[in-house]
Structure 1
Amino acid sequence: MSHATLEDTYNFAKKFSHYKDFYTKSNGLIFSKLGLGTFNKEPYKEENYVFHYIEGVKEAVRQGINLIDTASNYRYGQSEKEIGEALGELFEAGEAKREELIICSKGGFIQLDYPFPENPYTWIEENLIKTGFATKEDIELDQHCMTPDFVEWSCKRSIENLGVDNLDIYYLHNPEMQLMRLGEKAFYKQIEKIFTRFEKLADEGLFHSYGVAVWNGFTSENSNELISLEKLVECAIKVAGMNHRFKYIQLPFNMGKTAAYTNETQKVDGMPCSVINAAHNLGIGVISSSALLQMNLFKKSFTAETGVILDDSMTLKNDIQLALQFVRSTPGLISSLFGSKVPVHVRENCEISKVKAVKRSKYDLLYRL
């Protein structure tokens, strides 16, 4: 079964002259410091279902990005299918190999189908309840489910949609949605069940590593949705020992949402710390999402001081590139995901690969502005 390998991801990076500063090693793979995300807001808009990610995905790979991230519910499976088409075209043309690319998806949200079902409640009844994947009580707000059977089913659908043999990373998607309903004790018991199933699926070759992707789950000031990373690692160790495959977390991080780096929302061995520091101490890799905050960062221009700190060479030409340079330079992040469908925008974003990352001493000055 084909999956990303150290040798092939390293060889991919070496195709690009700037590879030494734009790639990093984690858990035996070489990651590009930017990854392509495929989340699209306003999912009910009909225009979101026109095939339009294919050329953007191909351009990202051509520009040196080897991390591609999606989820089963993004545009009700259309994002995965478009990535699959793009990958097929790249492989057939000899422009990339499967082993060079790190392909990730997520399960937890109910993905429904495209075209959108006439009655989503009937769809849920027929596809989840009657099949035994879940009970009505397992489903939160008619959109989220966290049973092992449902997540396994979602994972297999994702692999089929993407047209690959397996995934490199598979995430449990936004489990904080279930924390208040279940209560803390039952929540971590459910995590144990999910991780037990994930270890089995990893043994079967469906994915190489697994993780947890959140929105506010690791940084929330609301205890009803705050997840302890330390407890997640304890769950993984309990079900699989020290050789568990729980290797990554994914969470939003950008110039407007910096809590993962600045706020001490986690504890490790009783000591308060940020989630990025907690992950470092626990041996978990961090991949950030929403690098551009769905373009909500750009309602006014960044200051000249910000521009000088992020790029004293004056190479970067716009605030989008500066925002990507910010996340790419954040200490403790493996890679940062941005969303873009248009090839010319992908090329512009990847121009930051030609600029060196900001050193930490300089980077931290941004938090004083």
Structure 2
Amino acid sequence: MGFATFEETYGFAKKFSNYKDFYIKHNDLIFSKLGLGTFNKEPYKEENYVFHYIEAVKQAVRSGINLIDTASNYRYGQSEKEIGEALQELMASEEVKREELIICSKGGFIQLDFPFPKNPYTWISENVIESGLASKEDIELDQHCMTPDFLEYSCKKSLDNLGVKQLDIYYLHNPEMQMIKYGKKEFYKRIEKVFKRFEKLADDGLFKSYGVAVWNGFTAENDELISLEKLLETAVKVGGKNHRFKYIQLPFNMGKTNAYTTQTQVVDNEECTIFQAAHRLGIGIIGSSALLQMNLFKKSFSPESGVVLDDTMTLTSDIQLALQFARSTPGLVSSLFASKVPVHIKENCEISKIKAVSRSKYDLLYRL
């Protein structure tokens, strides 16, 4: 088992030739416009360990989704392990090949273990500090660490959890958490060390591409703001013109659209949005939290929004409309949503029955 390939991801998409506007080519891979995420909030709650994602992952693949996203700390490794179980079952039954799937994970948060350790501080001391992966000063808020050694350890642990030999994309997870602590100058020095290690890990075959996944790092209007242009300059510095820094991941949904509308970046001395910056710099954007952890649905969407998103009246729920919005966003490679219920995933993929919203109609939504 290796990386996703163009030939196999294209072959996967052809299995769903009746789908409309559901696949896109980017970096010589074919991505499904929806991807399965496996984040679950409030990880300390015991019920997060009762359910599993195994059947959800299998249903996602059977429904035409070939982008699967996770992180080493999601449910303290349980999400990765369950994805791994699902993939083994799917491949054993020859329903899918490894090369048809784009598998991504992230490192940066300290993942602890499951069951949750009685004393997490002792666990961190024994497994991170005493192991030489980082010093106490490298750890922010007892949860975030981005030393090269810790990130390499996290990546290898993710591969083991997932049961794969390589990842397609590996992200540095929420580095903005350390921006204020270090200040911009020191922060980018640390990013350089991380990217240098990531280039080595890519050379070693642990992953094909790497990126940076944020919550507000590219759109923040405070000292947490990260410059995409500077990240790319750093990647070129350590990896040359053939560097492997290819993707960013950020939240994008009907309730959080500032990545598309707010000029927070500068490229060639010109202010622009992060979407525009990524396009100009050749970096792919993966949208996360397409349903804003279900917080979008405290009241129904307006009828006007519904008509713009689906004038065929095919879609039956606000969840489908929200995914149709994210999937139609110009410049977005794919949008991640999380669900552990197979029937919900099948329903969500019903948006494939209709076309994506055109650019002109999509922009109307910002005037409603």
TM-score normalised by length of structure 1: 0.99
Partner in structure 2 of residue 368 of structure 1: 367
The answer (yes or no) to whether the contact 1:254–1:327 under 8 Å persists in 2 is yes
Query: Which letter does structure 2 place at the counterpart of 1:191?
Result: I
Match for residue 250 of structure 1?
Answer: 249
Cα shift at 1:308: 0.5
Paired position in structure 2 for 1:221: 221
In the other structure, the counterpart of 1:286 is 285
Tell me how far apart the structure 2 counterparts of residues 127 and 28 of structure 1 sit (CA, whole Å): 39
What is the letter of the counterpart of residue 42 of structure 1? E
Shift of 1:14: 0.2
- Residue deviations 1:330-361 (CA, integer Å, cap 9, x gap): 00000000000000000000000111000000
| Distance (Å, rounded) in 2 between the aligned partners of 1:51 and 1:21 | 32
Q: 2: distance between equivalents of 1:77 and 1:52?
A: 12
Q: Which runs of 4+ in 1 moved over 2 A?
A: 17-20
How far apart, CA to CA, are the structure 2 residues paired with 1:15 and 1:221? Answer: 44
Decide which moves more: 281-290 or 42-51. 42-51
**Pairing of 1:1-369 with structure 2 (within 5 A):** 1-19=1-19, 21-222=21-222, 224-369=223-368
Task: Give the unaligned 5+ runs of structure 1.
Answer: none
Q: Distance in 1 between matches of 2:85 and 2:247?
A: 26
**Distance of aligned partners of 1:72 and 1:293 in 2 relative to their CA distance in 1, 3 Å threshold:** same
CA contact (8 A) 1:68 1:103 kept: yes
Q: CA deviation at 1:18?
A: 3.2
Query: Is the contact between residue 19 and residue 353 of structure 2 (CA under 8 Å) also seen in structure 1?
Result: no
Partner amino acid for 1:293? L
Q: Which residue identity does 1:177 align to in structure 2?
A: M
Rounded to whole Å, the distance in 2 between the matches of 1:40 and 1:322 is 22
Give the aligned residue type for 1:316.
L
- Deviation string for 1:187-234 (max 9, x for gaps)? 001000000000000000000000000000000111x10000000000
Aligned partner letter, 2:174: N
Partner Cα distance (2:354, 2:228) in 1: 33
After superposition, the CA RMSD in angstroms is 0.7
Judge conservation of contact 1:292–1:320 (CA < 8 Å) in 2: yes
Whole-angstrom CA distance in 2 between matches of 1:7 and 1:17? 15
Q: Distance in 1 between matches of 2:129 and 2:18?
A: 51
Matched position secondary structure for 2:361:
helix
The TM-score, its normalising length taken from structure 2, stands at 0.99
Structure 1: which amino acid aligns with 2:105?
A: S
- Letter in structure 1 aligned against 2:350: E
1:51, distance to aligned residue in structure 2 (A)? 4.3
The structure-2 alpha-carbon separation of the partners of 1:315 and 1:19, relative to structure 1 and needing over 3 Å to count, comes to closer
Letter of the 1:171 counterpart: Y
Supply the AA of the counterpart residue of 2:272: C
**What stretches of structure 2 of length at least 5 have no aligned partner?**
none
Q: Is the 8 A contact 2:169 2:208 kept in 1?
A: yes
Q: Which digits, 9 at most, give the CA deviation of each residue in 1:94-130, with x for residues without a partner?
A: 1100000000000000000000011101001100111
Deviation of 1:242 after TM superposition, in Å, equals 1.1
CA distance in 1, matches of 2:305, 2:19: 25
C-alpha distance in structure 2 between counterparts of 1:335 and 1:234, whole Å: 25
> Match of 1:314, SS?
coil
Post-superposition Cα deviations, 1:271-303, rounded to whole Å, max 9, x if no partner, equal: 111101100000000000000000000011011
Give the Å deviation of 1:42: 0.9
2:228 counterpart letter in structure 1: L
Would you say the 8 A contact 1:266–1:274 is kept in 2? Answer: yes
Shift of 1:17: 2.2
CA distance in 2, matches of 1:185, 1:18: 51
CA distance in 2, matches of 1:290, 1:313: 26
Identity of aligned residues (%): 79
Are the aligned partners of 1:165 and 1:206 in contact in 2 as well (CA < 8 Å)?
Answer: yes
Contact 2:106 2:155 in 1 (8 A): yes
CA distance in 1, matches of 2:169, 2:217: 19
Instruction: Please say if residues 51 and 82 of structure 1, whose CA atoms lie closer than 8 Å, have aligned partners that are also in contact.
Output: no
Q: Distance in 2 between matches of 1:20 and 1:98?
A: 24
